[in-house]
Amino acid sequence: MVKTLIKLEALKRIRSTSFARSLTIGIFILLIGVLLLGYLLLFGLFLNKIITEVLEKPDAINFINSNLLYFFLLELIYRYFIQQLPVINLENYLHLPIPKSTIVHFLLVCSFISPLNIIALLLFGPFAFIELKATFGPTPAFVWLGAILLTSWSIHWFVLWFKQRFEDSLIGTLVVFSALLLSIGSSYFGLYDLGAFFEPVFTFALENPAPIFLLMAALILSYFLCFAFYRQNAYLEELSEGDHLQFANQNLGFLSKFGLAGEMANLEWKLIIRHKKSRTFLTLCLLFLLYGLIFYNNPAYLKETGFNYLFIFVGTFITGIFMLQYGQLFLSWNSPTFDFYVHQKNGLRALVKGKYLLFTGISFICFILSVPYVYFGWDVLLIHLATFLFNMGVTIHLVIYMALWKPKPMNLHKGSVFNYEGMGLSQFLMIIPLVAVPYAVFLPVAYLFGDYSGLLALAVIGGFGLLIFPMISTKMADAVVDRKYEISASFRQEI
């Protein structure tokens, strides 16, 4: 039975019209993955030296045990965004004479075959078999490593259940990040150290094998929790109730004041809220507002006079991340319904201007939400203001112009991670205008007249771009109208 499922899955992939492209991308990702896993193994080999010599902690074992909780919380986050079910459509198999339980077991076992499940082994395996084995002996080292792996694998099954239970919603994302921020925040401000609370569990694993049996039970329970949920909800319709977002049909009222373009922007907003891939981009947009915390309070990036030029990229990124992520697939989001806009009077022009309106609106909200960064200095606020104006006056047009190069169709119901539908060469190259163009303006002026003159140049050019915004956006709409049949034909290709 399992051989039949594997054969059907292999045939589906081989017979796909995009097999060659998927194979090429898969090989590229495999090479990158092997490289990253190699770095993790190298990090694991030098983990003891990093802790004792770089971090200057006298007891590496106690330090690791005290911070394993934060590793698992971080693992929960990257699994939440990266971990996916294997590419298998339940509706293609549920009508076959195969027990539903067999299909679900196959689905879950396939999901376990992932490089994510060996990250903990690569990080802590070398430490266990080099350092712990020499100090405590082979059995305690094996039990300690087993406790870590069982915890990591329990998180795997929990995330599969959690993601499907909350349908990649904003609520689920907030729950995951709140758990991390509260635990780190409580430790940072000295309120409560959760890491120290869980430290005895892994220390005890070096003395007694009991924790490994308890964690094995937790692993089994998490698997059957996941299995029971999928088994209960495995029907021909999707594993979703469909109406879990009560606000999916709500409008952004202020957009209606902008006429037909505003109505199109409202439709685009509903599209973002309803579909997993677009909803993920919106969620990441909010999360990346915290990106500045990595740089603005880091002594390594501070200067006695002026500011670090890297902050230009940070400001551009914070105020323009949604425009870059969502805008790179400018028309692909509408590929299933593009013909509808083609045959409507001024439909395409309204669609393009509605997208412009939505991009500028969300970017403005990101700028407003980034204002509290003024806590790190007024220069940070000036950087955000200048980069926001430049994004709205210049970068937005460059992103949209590049997105019009051979747009590709896309299935909106799939997740965003490792989903390259709608992606072409131009989409991968789109990072260039986001990074290079602001620096092309800023660096010469800053070199000749000073840092703040460079910011002024960004703001002035961005402001000028806003003055001629209607003219440029109209030309972009004209470009879409002129190529409407070519774009429509490309969207009719099978994904």
How far, in Å, CA of 102 to CA of 93, rounded?
11
pLDDT at residue 239, as a whole number: 47
For residue 448, being part of any structural domain is answered with yes
pLDDT of residue 163: 78
Q: Is residue 6 part of a domain?
A: no
pLDDT (0 to 100) of residue 247: 40
- Is 228 in the same domain as 263? no
Across the range 143-159, mean pLDDT stands at: 92
Per-residue pLDDT at 245: 41
Confidence of residue 78 (pLDDT cuts 50, 70, 90): confident
> Do the beta carbons of residue 317 and residue 291 sit within 8 Å?
yes
| Average confidence (pLDDT) over 320-329 | 81
In this prediction, residue 400 carries a pLDDT of 82
If asked whether residues 264 and 234 sit together in one domain, one would say: no
The number of folded domains in the chain is 2
Let me know if 247 is exposed, middle or buried by CB neighbors in 10 A (0-12, 13-18, 19+). exposed
Q: Is residue 245 part of a domain?
A: no
Is residue 289 predicted with pLDDT exceeding 60? Answer: yes
| Torsion region of 194: left, alpha or beta (phi above 0 gives left; psi -120 to 50 gives alpha) | alpha
- What is the residue-wise DSSP string for 433-463? HHHHHHHHHHHHHHHHH-HHHHHHHHHHHHH
Q: 401 and 297: one domain?
A: yes
Specify the pLDDT at position 304.
73
Mean pLDDT: which of 119-128, 251-260, 356-365, 475-484 is highest? 119-128
Report, as an integer, the average pLDDT of 455-483: 89
Q: Which of 40-54, 242-256, 271-285 has the lowest mean pLDDT?
A: 242-256
State whether 441 and 332 are in the same domain: yes
Does the residue 88 lie in any domain? yes
Query: End of a domain among 240, 271, 302?
Result: 240
Question: Is pLDDT of 17 > 80?
Answer: no
> 279 and 182, same structural domain?
no
What gap in Å lies between CA 430 and CA 256, rounded to an integer? Answer: 31
Is 167 in a helix, a strand, or coil?
coil
**pLDDT tens string 202-255:** 888 888 888 899 999 999 999 998 888 888 876 655 444 443 444 444 555 556
How confident is residue 350, by pLDDT bands cut at 50, 70 and 90? confident
Does 24 fall in a domain?
no
Strands (E), 185-240: none
134 and 274 assigned to the same domain:
no
Using left for φ > 0, alpha for ψ between -120 and 50, and beta otherwise, residue 137 falls in left
Q: Give buried/exposed letters for 434-452 (b at 16+ CB in 10 A, else e).
A: beebbbebbeebbeeeebb
Task: Give the pLDDT score at 102.
Answer: 82
Going by pLDDT thresholds of 50, 70 and 90, the confidence category of residue 428 is: low
The answer to whether residue 418 scores a pLDDT higher than 50 is no
| Shared-domain flag, residues 207 and 333 | no
pLDDT score of 154 more than 90: yes
- Enumerate long-range contacts of 126-133, CB under 8 Å, 24 or more apart: 126/41, 126/44, 126/45, 126/47, 127/44, 127/47, 127/48, 127/60, 127/64, 130/45, 130/48, 131/48, 131/60, 131/61, 132/61, 132/206
Print the domain residue range for 54: 31-240
Q: Are residues 194 and 277 in the same domain?
A: no
- Inform me whether the pLDDT recorded for 180 exceeds 80: no
Question: In terms of domains, do 176 and 321 share one?
Answer: no
Give the best-scoring range by mean pLDDT among 218-222, 257-261, 404-408: 218-222
Q: List all residues 6 or more positions away from 29 whose beta carbon is below 8 Å from its beta carbon.
A: 418
Same-domain check for residues 229 and 272 = no
Residue 328 and residue 235 share a domain: no
pLDDT at 279: 74
Domain end marker among 240, 273, 303 = 240
Q: What is the mean pLDDT of the chain?
A: 79
Structure tokens at 121: 């082994």
Section 70-92 average pLDDT: 73
**Residue 25, domain member (yes or no):** no
5 found inside a domain:
no
Q: In the listed set 240, 272, 299, which residue is the last one of a domain according to the structure?
A: 240
Q: Are 398 and 483 in contact (CB under 8 A)?
A: no
- What pLDDT sits at residue 153? 93
The rounded distance, in Å, linking the Cα atoms of 489 and 342 is 12
pLDDT above 90 for 286:
no
* 151 plus 285 within the same structural domain: no
Domain assignment present for residue 300? The answer is yes
Q: How far is CA 354 from CA 87, 94, 486, in A?
A: 34, 41, 21
Q: State the pLDDT confidence band at 445, using cuts at 50, 70 and 90.
A: very high
Question: What CA–CA distances, in Å, run from 164 to 51, 75, 107, 159, 249?
Answer: 38, 18, 13, 8, 21
DSSP state string for 339-392: HHHHTSTTHHHHHHHHHHHHHHHHHHHHHHHTGGGGGG-HHHHHHHHHHHHHII
